A and B are shown apart, each in its own frame.
Chain A
Amino acid sequence: MVVLASTLGYLLSSLAFDPRSNYQGANPPIPESTINSKLDNLGVNPAKPLLSRYATWVGNVVTGDFGLTVGEQDVNEEISRRIWVSLRLLVLGSILGSVLGVGLGVVSAVRQYGATDRAASMLSFALLSTPVFLLAILLKFGAIDINNRIGTTFFYTIGEYSADFSGNSWDLFVNRLQHLILPTLSIALGGIAFYSRYQRNAMLDVLGSDFLRTARAKGLTGRQSLFRHGLRVAILPMATFFAYSFGLLVTGAPFTETIFGWNGMGSWFIVAVQSNDINAVSAVIVFSAVLVLLSGLLADIAVAALDPRVRLR
């Protein structure tokens, strides 16, 4: 599947992009031969047939070389710098989103039609209808407003850490954390809304079931039966949704990274599309395909761990 996705990514971007336009119309004009040699160097010269370009690219990628960007930088180097920025955001965001979402869903289901449930339902409906970019912008403005009110910069809205920062490693950690809060929140909030809706309904199904009544009857307290018998069953479909929703998260990253000025894979993707950078775009697509598949694998493992029926098979 990764092979398929990367093939699709490379071929589509090769078809859609015109790398030559980066050099044309420059003043003074660049001679045609120079452009050609530059394009050859990147391996994206349209004069060469698409399939042979693709074969070269695949050959290099298999040996771990993603080629050069339009700016003639090593794609591998860019990836190794940016991948951690994005992963920090995505992993934290998805963990926070799924854990808090599942928790909220359980609480809403147990107190169905209570005040918590109603507030959570309305809030998640509103959050699910708000696109990531609007949410990120609103968070950013809200944070700036809070900063102005309390008179110090508590939330940082640009970058991963302050560039002019000096201090010991603990201060640096705190500083990074202050930068991390808002982007992570903007990714996690959507996840919380998404998971809490599904978890609430899955939990409601389970709450009325016979085996939960049996668990109560044999003398478990409400809480014990809920966590050991109820949640364990109700959380199973969530594991499958986790794989699906990870694609959603990957889609959110370009917006969040652009709005909060993070130099991660997502913001790189946007720059790469704008500059007709076939090699960089293909690298980002491989990255996201790997992520989506890894999350699917994780979901399968989680299901196997929770569900004895799957393990036996």
Chain B
Amino acid sequence: MSTEKRITRGVLIRRRFMRNKLAVAGIVILVLMFLLAFVGPFFSKYRWDELDFLALLQPPSSSHWFGTSQIGGDVFALTVRGLQKSLIIGLLVAVFSTGLAAIAGGFAGYLGGKVDRTVMWMIDALLVLPSFLIIAVLSPLYRGRTWLVFVVLLAAFGWMVTARIVRSATMSLRERDFVRAAQYMGVPAHKIVFRHLLPNVASILIIDATLNVGATILSETGLSYLGFGIQPPDVSLGSLIADGTASALTYPWLFMFAGSALVLTVLAVSFIGDGLRDAFDPGSARSKNI
């Protein structure tokens, strides 16, 4: 035993994760998508808002890799731009909403009483209505404004389920000795939550943040598809698919690339989230795995 090299938890988790073939495939796909989204524009001959009036509705060719749209936009440049927007929104919202969930769930679970009841009441109220409906109703508020308002709204209505999980995890940690010790030493509540409780639920937060990226991309593209999300002239994968489907039977390149990019990205993210869960917590992986 003593001759064996000691393995830290991080190394162990990384090893378990790398053993999962689907999760590694997910990482590879996601890295490729990021490369496509952020390095792709440098290789494209056209800008996403540039129109080529000599090539309307052309199928994919050497000059327009993914073909051109009805008004001569380069579909490759548009798809890359849309992918960029969808990825950024997915990441930002996942970070914001998971952070919000950690704070709300952490304090509700630790403090209990009135705070807990208020937070749970808010969670229940927001869960009764599908957040999609609420954001669609609020969409006139960000029409003509920056897309960051849209990000804030998506985060504001996407934290509830994670907060519930964090709350129940914190409640079980609350009675543990290290928390007691901190309390008796006079550490204030907010420090206990941030220094002692939340680091202990970090695995939950990391997994949920990953899965939230996928969920956010799905709801963002859905809203954009109906015109309630990213507003023209800017594009997201959702609005690209919406524009492309009007005549997609005869001109499939208009939406196929955006559609496959979307499905591949979300698929990759869910593989990674799954792999992370298996790696962090091999015991419970079978029961909650999706």
Contact = CB atoms under 8 A, between A and B. Distances in A.
A8 B228 contact: no
B140 A16 contact: yes
13 contacts: A12-B137, A130-B266, A131-B221, A132-B222, A133-B242, A137-B255, A247-B130, A254-B226, A269-B133, A270-B136, A273-B136, A276-B140, A284-B133
Interface in A110-132: 125-126, 128-132
Contact of A204 (B225, B238, B267, B286): B286
A4 B128 contact: yes
A141 interface: yes
Interface in B110-160: 124-125, 127-130, 132-134, 136-141
Report which residue of B128, B255, B270 has the largest number of chain A beta carbons within 10 angstroms of its beta carbon. Answer: B128
Interface of B: 124-125, 127-130, 132-134, 136-141, 214, 218, 221-222, 225-228, 238, 241-242, 245, 248-249, 255, 259, 262-263, 266-267, 270-271, 286-290
Contacts of A125: 267, 270-271
Contact of B130 (A2, A15, A281, A288): A288
Task: Give the contact-size bracket for chain A.
Answer: 35 or more
Contact of A134 (B139, B263, B267, B286): B263
A289 interface: yes
Contact of A251 (B130, B140, B263): B130
A258 interface: yes
| Interface of A (DSSP majority class) | helix
Report which residue of B129, B141, B290 has the largest number of chain A beta carbons within 10 angstroms of its beta carbon. Answer: B129
B128 A18 contact: no
Contact of B129 (A9, A197, A255, A270): A9
A243 B139 CA distance: 27
A18 B270 CA distance: 39
Contacts of B137: 9, 12-13, 16, 273, 281, 285
Contacts of B128: 1-2, 4-5, 289, 292-293
A202 B137 CA distance: 37
A187 to B, nearest CB: 14
A198 interface: yes
A151 B139 CA distance: 43
B11 to A, nearest CB: 28
Contacts, number: 118
A5 B121 CA distance: 12
A263 interface: no
B130 A133 contact: no
Ranked nearest first, the 7 interchain pairs of A and B with the lowest CB-CB distance are A129-B266, A129-B267, A251-B132, A247-B130, A197-B290, A251-B130, A5-B128
A126 to B, nearest CB: 7
A12 B127 contact: no
Given A128-B270, A141-B249, A201-B288, A133 B129 contact: no
A186 B287 CA distance: 28
A130 B132 CA distance: 16
B241 A288 contact: no
A136 to B, nearest CB: 10
A17 interface: yes
Interface string A282-309: 0011001100110000000000000000
A250 interface: yes
Nearest to B267: A129
Nearest to B268: A129
B106 to A, nearest CB: 23
Contacts of A5: 125, 128-129
B140 A134 contact: no
Contact of A258 (B138, B226, B270): B226
B20 to A, nearest CB: 14
Interface in A217-257: 247-248, 250-251, 254-255
Report which residue of B124, B221, B222, B262 has the largest number of chain A beta carbons within 10 angstroms of its beta carbon. Answer: B222
A273 B139 contact: yes
A212 interface: no
Contacts of B218: 131
Contacts of B245: 137
Interface in A1-33: 1-2, 4-5, 8-9, 12-13, 15-18
A252 to B, nearest CB: 9
A144 B214 CA distance: 30
A270 B133 contact: no
A205 B287 contact: yes
Nearest to B126: A8
A129 B270 contact: yes
